[in-house]
Amino acid sequence: MSHIHLVCTECQAAHNADMLTLGCRECGSPLDVAYDSPESHAMTVSGLPMPAPIHADALGVTMREGNTPIVPLPAVSEAVGVGSVWGKLEMVSPTGSFKDRGVAMMLSVAMERGVSEIVEDSSGNAGASVAAYAARAGIRAHVFAPDTAPRAKMGQIRVYGASAHAVPGAREQSARAAEAYRRARGLVYASHNLSPYFIEGTKTFAYEIHTQMPCPADHTVIPVGNGSLLIGAWKGYCELVAGGAAQSVPRLHAIQSEAARPIVAEFEGVEWRADGSTTIAGGISVGAPPRKAQVARAVRQSGGRALAVSDERILWWQNLLAASEGIFAEPTSAAAFAGLELLAKRGHVRASDTVLVPVTGSGLKDAQF
């Protein structure tokens, strides 16, 4: 991987790029991919060159993920009093969530490096995606998820042939169990939360929006647990601006649940500790996201906000999206719309603004009935 190195998100220390280094040797913070010459290894995404960590000019394992449609959302526009609201339907991705963007890139890097067995932990969607792409790549996968993960997601992990480990306790327990399993067996920990390659895959989200939107979005409103989509969007937009393809980065807003809002607290500069309360938005139920500081920084630098929403509003929006737009989103995805409602109410999004909201996952995988 001579065209890239890894750089610490906090102290900027440089590291060689491999599949094993997931944290800074100096300060322990997560790492990002840095390109020695961005133009030398680019993939074409929506007709634009996007710097990528793979050596080939196309992904080694892919199901043509991404390329998701954007549609106008008139009922949402009316409900929040904002003239132009668009949804990007990530739920139509091969495994039903945006995670396929990051997993396709992460496992394409793993393939290039000859990795044959990986360990991952997930609230469900990333695990299902890793299981699917690992099956396609001929890589053996072990996925750790909370024992409270929806049955459909656990079933999906198993049907792709991965070994699914249901771990009692909070989401962090699954991460600990995965790390212990990896260490005991000397396997590669393909953690989508820590992997710098996963984020290189979620960048495609920004490239697509840039070419799909009839006029540039002023705001992108994203449900955030660990922040992989938000950081990928930020990186992607920054590359587009640096390369002269885009004029500016939209305001990126991070939406969390009231029960798990460490990034909102980081953004506000206050202390937050999990108090045992739970949320129906399982994908963003993350108490200690490793990239917390990086996410809050991207939100701040883009001019966005970080807000927390209630389960009551999440359910209300899940129903509105289904009954008025024909879109069955999972509760985690509906949280972004509850966030848009609050942003509009507080004047952070104005009636004349253009807003894009990803519908990050399918309701079919997290049905409450």
Asked if 330 touches ligand PLP (CB under 6 A), the answer is yes
| Contact range with ligand PLP by CB under 6 A, out of 30-38, 108-116, 130-138, 218-226 | 218-226
Among 118, 203, 360, 363, contact with ligand PLP (rule: CB under 6 A): 360
229 binds, among Zn ion, ligand PLP, none (CB under 5 to 8 A by kind): ligand PLP
Q: Minimum distance between the CB of residue 24 and Zn ion, rounded to whole angstroms?
A: 3
Q: Minimum distance between the CB of residue 244 and ligand PLP, rounded to whole angstroms?
A: 29
- What is the rounded distance in angstroms from the CA atom of residue 22 to the CA atom of residue 299? 23
Among 9, 228, 302, 354, contact with ligand PLP (rule: CB under 6 A): 228
- What is the rounded distance in angstroms from the CA atom of residue 126 to the CA atom of residue 153? 9
Show the site string, 13-42: x = touches Zn ion by CB under 5 A, - = not.
x----------x-xx-x-------------
Asked if 187 touches ligand PLP (CB under 6 A), the answer is no
Asked if 333 touches ligand PLP (CB under 6 A), the answer is yes
Q: Minimum distance between the CB of residue 231 and ligand PLP, rounded to whole angstroms?
A: 8
* Residue-wise burial string across 330-364, b where 16 or more C-beta atoms lie within 10 A, e elsewhere: bbbbbbbbbbbbbbbeeebbeeebbbbbbbbbbbe
283 binds, among ligand PLP, Zn ion, none (CB under 5 to 8 A by kind): ligand PLP
Asked if 229 touches ligand PLP (CB under 6 A), the answer is yes
Q: Which amino acid is at 235?
A: K
How does DSSP assign 161-221, residue by residue?
TPEEEEE-SSHHHHHHHHHHHHHHHT-EE--TTT-HHHHHHHTHHHHHHHHH-SS--SEEE
Strands of the sheet containing 354-358, edge to edge, are 70-72, 84-88, 354-358, 219-223, 251-257, 306-309
| Contact range with ligand PLP by CB under 6 A, out of 6-14, 49-57, 112-120, 328-336 | 328-336
CA 260 to chain centre: 16
174 binds, among ligand PLP, Zn ion, none (CB under 5 to 8 A by kind): none
Asked if 108 touches ligand PLP (CB under 6 A), the answer is no
Map 56-111 to HEC letters. Answer: CCCCCCCCCCCCCCEEECHHHHHHHCCCEEEEECHHHCCCCECHHHHHHHHHHHHH
Asked if 120 touches ligand PLP (CB under 6 A), the answer is no
| Contact range with ligand PLP by CB under 6 A, out of 106-114, 171-179, 309-317, 327-335 | 327-335
Asked if 226 touches ligand PLP (CB under 6 A), the answer is yes
How far CA 287 is from CA of 159, 230, 305, in Å, comes to 29, 17, 19
Asked if 97 touches ligand PLP (CB under 6 A), the answer is yes
Q: Minimum distance between the CB of residue 26 and ligand PLP, rounded to whole angstroms?
A: 25
Among 9, 29, 108, 123, contact with ligand PLP (rule: CB under 6 A): 123
Asked if 121 touches ligand PLP (CB under 6 A), the answer is no
225 binds, among ligand PLP, Zn ion, none (CB under 5 to 8 A by kind): ligand PLP
Neighbours of 324 (CB within 10 A): 14
Size of the site for ligand PLP (CB under 6 A): 18
Asked if 95 touches ligand PLP (CB under 6 A), the answer is no
- What is the rounded distance in angstroms from the CA atom of residue 102 to the CA atom of residue 357? 18
Burial of 38 from C-beta contacts in 10 A (0-12 / 13-18 / 19+):
middle
* Bridge partner list, 142: 119, 163
Cβ closest to ligand PLP, residue 225 vs residue 262: 225
Cβ closest to ligand PLP, residue 126 vs residue 314: 126
Site of tokens 């699914």: 164
Q: Decide: 146 and 170 in contact? Cβ < 8 Å.
A: yes
Size of the site for Zn ion (CB under 5 A): 8
Q: Minimum distance between the CB of residue 198 and Zn ion, rounded to whole angstroms?
A: 19
Q: Which two tokens stand for residue 56?
A: 């080939």
- What is the rounded distance in angstroms from the CA atom of residue 261 to the CA atom of residue 51? 32
Instruction: List residues near ligand PLP by CB under 6 A.
Output: 97, 123, 125-126, 223-229, 283-284, 330, 332-333, 360-361
